[in-house]
Homo-oligomer: A and B are copies of this chain.
Amino acid sequence: MSKILGVGIAGLGTVGEGFLNQLKNFKSNSKSEPNIKIIQIAVKNIKKKRSFNVKNLPITSNTIQLSSNKDIDVIIELIGGSSGIAYQLVKKALLNKKHVITANKALMAMHGNELSKIAEKNKVSLNYEAAIAGGVPIVKAVRESLRFNKISKIYGILNGTCNYVLTKMAKEKKGFKEVLKDAQNKGFAELDPRLDIQGIDAAHKISLLSSIAFNIAIDFKNTYIEGITKIDPSDFIFAKELGYSIKLLAVAAKNKKEIEQRVHPCFVRQNSVISKVDNELNAIIVKDKVIGKNIFEGPGAGSGPTAASVMSDLMDVLRGTYNLPLGSSIFKKKKLKIKRMSDIQFSYYLRILANDKSGVMAQIAKVLSSRKISIESIIQKPSIKKKYAEIILITHKTKESTLTSALKRIKGLSVVKSSVKFIRIEDLL
């Protein structure tokens, strides 16, 4: 690397703009550190109106060309999307022995194994601090500091949009669609919010953390994913009454040779750390056998936080800090099986709409007891629908396959109306 570190930026949205702002303040730390020079900035539409003057910037619309520009040492990919131009650019840049910094979790989750192989072979950096939990330096913490501690579980709130929506639903007792619309108006949700509210974005992120923490290849496609679209206001009321909050958790866990990788709404105890992480905040908890528990919390998105993480990745490249993309060699990663959800044990919140007459509870209890599912608490309330009662149950731990078979049977009872709703309870001890 010369005394000038040549930077190519692809994408100039809010993060790109935030990053350019921060770069202005950069001063080289010492004589041994190179200076930074922006060689090219690739944008889709050069003529697009922007909040700042691009006249004096080396703008181009030929994105892919950045990957072969000889003056560029580092490509900063801020385009987004798991395929298309972002993928082509990053792959070609790595093949051409350029360092890559990306904020693109979808790309890393889908192609991270392949891209890591190229980066590792060519001894260039592939850094993606901004891809997970925005401004929280969790990639560095897990990849460099905590990985040696035999991590057993890494979990948390990794999607700010979902957390914002769930927090508002809980506090304002409004329905999902209304709150989502409000979040979109306020800029806390995308116009196309599907990646977020369906849990896919959080799954991208947890599959990356799981790969680093457990020394396995990235396995996004076997991650269990369930979004937040089916939670409704009454669930928050019952949750509160029972001492819980509802959060969308992303969880990766390892027990001997079995991996859990899952994203779904959870009941979490009100006195847990996670329960108090509200609005657009993110939080990650890392449990391991040496330290115990480390908690990281901060803003999961936004121009400033994301750009700050890009900047931190760039500083690592500048200082010559090299880390393997996934913490350990991709060529030595273990193949471990991801456990099926049906084989995992949870406690459950069940919500059953039934006829409001005597003997109903007895019938339901009988089905559960026949499968050895024991009950921790019960709430029964008249439903807003006349002649019906809402029965809320918290079960003790049982295998998910046992539960689903019981629920099928309960649904078949003539006194029970509609299907039974369940939400898993995450044991955060």
Name the distance in Å between A5's Cβ and chain B's nearest Cβ: 15
- CB neighbours of A145 from chain B (8 A): 129, 137, 140, 308-309, 312
Residue of B nearest to A29 (CB): B328
Is A234 among interface residues, defined by CB-CB distance under 8 A?
no
Give A131-170 as 1s and 0s: 1 = Cβ < 8 Å from B's Cβ atoms: 0001111001100111011100000000000000000000
Spell out A's residues near B (CB within 8 Å): 18, 22, 25-26, 29-30, 32, 120, 123, 129, 134-137, 140-141, 144-146, 148-150, 273, 276, 288, 290-299, 304-305, 307-309, 311-312, 315-316, 319-324, 328-329, 332
Which residue of chain B is the closest to A283 with respect to CB atoms? Answer: B295
Ranked nearest first, the 6 interchain pairs of A and B with the lowest CB-CB distance are A135-B291, A137-B145, A294-B298, A295-B297, A145-B312, A290-B304
**Measured between alpha carbons, how far is A148 from B309 in the docked complex, in Å?**
10
A64 CA to B350 CA, complexed, in Å: 66
New A-B contacts (13) at CB < 8 Å, excluding given A140-B144, A292-B304: A18-B290, A135-B292, A137-B145, A137-B294, A141-B141, A144-B312, A146-B312, A291-B298, A291-B308, A292-B298, A293-B298, A293-B299, A319-B323
**Given A291-B304, A298-B292, A308-B291: A148 in contact with B22 (beta carbons within 8 A):** yes
Whose C-beta in chain B lies nearest to the C-beta of A288? B308
Residue of chain B at shortest CB distance from A312: B145
Q: How far is the CB of A103 from chain B (nearest CB, A)?
A: 14
Q: How many copies does the complex hold?
A: 2
Contacting residue for A291 out of B141, B150, B299, B328, CB 8 A: B299
Nearest Cβ on chain B to A164's Cβ, whole angstroms: 15
Nearest-CB residue, chain B, relative to A316: B144
Q: Are B129 and A29 in contact (CB under 8 A)?
A: no
Taking a contact as CB atoms under 8 Å apart, the answer to whether A148 and B308 are in contact is yes
Q: A145-B137, A295-B295 are in contact. Are A290 and B305 (CB under 8 A)?
A: yes
How far, in whole Å, are A72 and B294 apart by their CA atoms in the complex? 32
- Selected A-B contacts with CB under 8 Å, 7 pairs: A25-B150, A30-B329, A137-B146, A140-B145, A146-B312, A148-B308, A294-B298
Q: How far is the CB of A118 from chain B (nearest CB, A)?
A: 15
Q: Which of A150, A293, A320 gathers the greatest number of chain B CB atoms within 10 Å?
A: A293
A308 and B141 alpha carbons, distance in the complex (Å) = 12
B315 and A144 form a contact (CB under 8 A): yes
The CA-CA distance from A391 to B41 in the complex, in Å, is 65
Instruction: Identify the closest chain B residue to A304 (Cβ).
Output: B290
Partner of A136, one of B273, B294, B323, B328: B294
Question: How far is it, in angstroms, between the C-alpha of A136 and the C-alpha of B145 when the chains are bound?
Answer: 9
**Residues in B whose Cβ lies below 8 Å from that of A320:** 320, 322
A294 touches B292 (CB 8 A): no
Is B324's CB under 8 angstroms from A294's CB?
Answer: no
Q: Which residues of B contact A298 (CB under 8 A)?
A: 291-295
What is the bound-complex CA distance between A309 and B328, given in angstroms?
18
A320, B323: Cα distance in complex, Å: 10
Residues of B contacting A25 in the complex (Cβ-Cβ under 8 angstroms): 148, 150
CB distance from A169 to the nearest CB of B (A): 21
Looking at the complex, which one of B26, B290, B291, B305 makes contact with A292 (CB distance below 8 Å)? Answer: B305
Write out the residue numbers on chain B whose beta carbons fall within 8 Å of the beta carbon of A288. Answer: 308
B290 & A307 in contact (Cβ 8 Å cutoff): yes
Query: Which residues of B lie under 8 Å from residue A307 when comparing CB positions?
Result: 290
Contacts of A292 in B (CB 8 A): 135, 298-299, 304-305
B148 touches A312 (CB 8 A): yes
